[in-house]
Structure 1
Amino acid sequence: MSDASATTPNPLAVTVIGGPTAVLEWGGLRIVTDPTFDAPRSYGDGDDALVKTAGPAIAAADLGRLDLALVSHHHHPDNLDDSGRALALSLPLVVTTPAGAAALADVGDATTDSVAVAARVIGAGDDEVVELDDAALVGAEVAGRAPAGARLHALPAQHGPEELQSRLGPVCGFLLEAPGHPTVYVSGDNSSVAVVEGIAARHPSVDAALLFAGAARVDAIDAALTLTAADARAAAEALGVRRVVALHVDQWQHFSEDLAAVEREFAGLDSPAGGPLLAATPHGERVELAL
């Protein structure tokens, strides 16, 4: 584990917006995960439609300064909807998969002057590292706020059954680290505990995890596409984290498990830092995570 909790009383804060979306305050940076800010609506037709059942707890315009967006994948609206895409492209930096970066660049090329487009969209492959304090790479605005030695790792994620990965498309997770600051894992739409175990082997000192749960399901695939509640617990135990935030558990009809399912699975699990391992994160409320 990092020694951040010994040097900074509240080194990490999170505001859950809904679905996979949260604002993470880490090391002086304000980071939005998988931006989804549309009002309730349907995407697609017939049996393939994805239905958003609730809007964001806080409107994008009311979030204040944001420095970068972490987009686990661009091609599913429950992780990047229309309003979320516009928000991401207005920020100084977006980090996503290489395929996502190419797609967002195409959107930016077609965008009218009425929407600001991010100066930098970085596509990072599995286990690639983005040096967040490198102004030449991420821009002066982000680098100027990032702590010295801040590194963002793009990590593998398996979105549903392994044999369907080419059909479901590329997805990534992320890991933030810097000397004197907590190490934070953001799972993205990963459904595989084995993938998390591999990450834990390479990164053995993770302090907090934002886990995308909800056991997302669609009619065409007889399997969970994100972590079940039980798998979220197994992932947390594999990582050995001191605090967990559950995301991707509401606001979409195809999520088969809600936050209550995750809470039941984590009941009785305490953090070495004190209190429950699973943080209570009411929508729209800024919560400081004691580590």
Structure 2
Amino acid sequence: MSTAHQLRITHIGGPTTLIEIGGWRLLTDPTFDPPGRRYTFGWGTSSRKVTGPAIPAADLGPIHAVLLSHDHHGDNLDDTGRALLSLAGTVLTTVPAARRLGPETRGLRAGQSTRLTHPGRPTIEVTATPCRHGPPLSGPIVGAVIGFALRWAGQQHGALWILGDTVLTRRVRQVATRIRVGTVLLHLGGVRFPITGPLRYSMTARRAAQLCAALRPHTAIPVHYEGWQHFQEPREVIERAFTAAPSPARDSIRWLPPGEPTTIDA
């Protein structure tokens, strides 16, 4: 018989969350720099950080693994977050990021899986999921990005899916047909930059509602929609999109108070 393990998620800010499962403490996309600095993202794009983390890096406690969707944008891995990587037992990320970050990092391509194991803790299967961090054919410019689907014994509703920075594509939609998802962390914000006009570099609220209508998760948690100047869709836009969505999506949305550990029905 499977043993249930409590899932607890703390939204620290931007894409950064602390995920606690049966003794595991996992950190997503570490961003802990103070606000005020402008970061360049390449090809003439940049943004200023306007909100600091809800929990300072020094107060985190032990981190057993980092799930890093990509390493080359400061709103997903900043200087303080980068310093934390050496303190984590494991770092899972893209193959190009693993080459840049060193031999202690595991690189995954979309569809590949690995396991987090430790005596006295549940084994967590981590599967990399596809992302496209921009419009069609933008991959060579925006670089490799992945999401993560986490599965462990005792899940009642399905996997925990960390979407990663992506627009809605056919491959992202297909995840809903391949993995039963109970909880999804939605990287939103509908990012645009003046230099590239209407092109989007992360998922809009409307597209996220469409995805959740197909996915039918028990819980959908918005992250990575605030704290930086380049985000175009704040909370009220996300709320309107989900209010207008069919009931499976509309009823799934849940907002996490920054810095407060929240128990999720997994």
Q: What SS class does the counterpart of residue 70 from structure 2 fall into?
A: coil
TM-superposed CA distance for 1:55, in Å, is: 0.8
More helix per residue: 1 or 2? 1
Q: TM-score, normalised by structure 2?
A: 0.90
Q: Which residue of 1 aligns with 2:234?
A: 258
Q: Which residue of 2 aligns with 1:239?
A: 215
Q: Give distance in 1, aligned partners of 2:86 and 2:211.
A: 31
Query: Is the aligned partner of 1:173 residue 2:147?
Result: yes
Q: What SS class does the counterpart of residue 74 from structure 1 fall into?
A: coil
Gap regions ≥5 residues in structure 1: 106-118, 134-142
Gap regions ≥5 residues in structure 2: none
Q: Which residue of 1 aligns with 2:203?
A: 227
TM-superposed CA distance for 1:21, in Å, is: 0.7
Instruction: Write out aligned runs for 1:94-243 (5 A).
Output: 94-105=91-102, 120-133=104-117, 143-144=118-119, 146-148=121-123, 150-181=124-155, 182-203=158-179, 205-221=180-196, 222-243=198-219
TM-superposed CA distance for 1:263, in Å, is: 1.9
- Checking the alignment, whether the CA contact within 8 Å between 2:213 and 2:246 is kept in structure 1 is no
TM-superposed CA distance for 1:96, in Å, is: 0.1
| Aligned CA distance change for structure 1 residues 47 and 120 (closer, same or farther; 3 Å) | closer
TM-superposed CA distance for 1:51, in Å, is: 0.9
Query: Is the aligned partner of 1:42 residue 2:17?
Result: no
Q: TM-score, normalised by structure 1?
A: 0.82
Q: What SS class does the counterpart of residue 86 from structure 2 fall into?
A: helix
| Aligned CA distance change for structure 1 residues 225 and 145 (closer, same or farther; 3 Å) | farther
Instruction: Write out aligned runs for 1:32-111 (5 A).
Output: 32-40=27-35, 41-44=37-40, 48-105=45-102
CA RMSD of aligned residues (A): 2.4
* Count of residues in Structure 1 that have an aligned counterpart in Structure 2: 260
- Checking the alignment, whether the CA contact within 8 Å between 1:196 and 1:238 is kept in structure 2 is no
Aligned-partner residue type, residue 56 of structure 1: P
Superposed CA offset, 1:5-62 (max 9, x none) = xx64x72111111111111112431111111000111123995322111110110111
- Checking the alignment, whether the CA contact within 8 Å between 1:216 and 1:254 is kept in structure 2 is yes
Sequence identity (%): 36
Q: Give distance in 2, aligned partners of 1:12 and 1:193.
A: 28
Superposed CA offset, 1:120-140 (max 9, x none) = 31011111111212xxxxxxx
- Checking the alignment, whether the CA contact within 8 Å between 2:70 and 2:93 is kept in structure 1 is yes
- Checking the alignment, whether the CA contact within 8 Å between 1:101 and 1:123 is kept in structure 2 is yes
Q: Give distance in 2, aligned partners of 1:145 and 1:230.
A: 42
Q: What SS class does the counterpart of residue 176 from structure 1 fall into?
A: strand
Q: What SS class does the counterpart of residue 147 from structure 2 fall into?
A: strand
Q: Give distance in 2, aligned partners of 1:207 and 1:177.
A: 10
- Checking the alignment, whether the CA contact within 8 Å between 2:63 and 2:88 is kept in structure 1 is yes
Aligned-partner residue type, residue 288 of structure 1: T
Q: Give distance in 2, aligned partners of 1:227 and 1:239.
A: 15
Query: Is the aligned partner of 1:287 residue 2:259?
Result: no
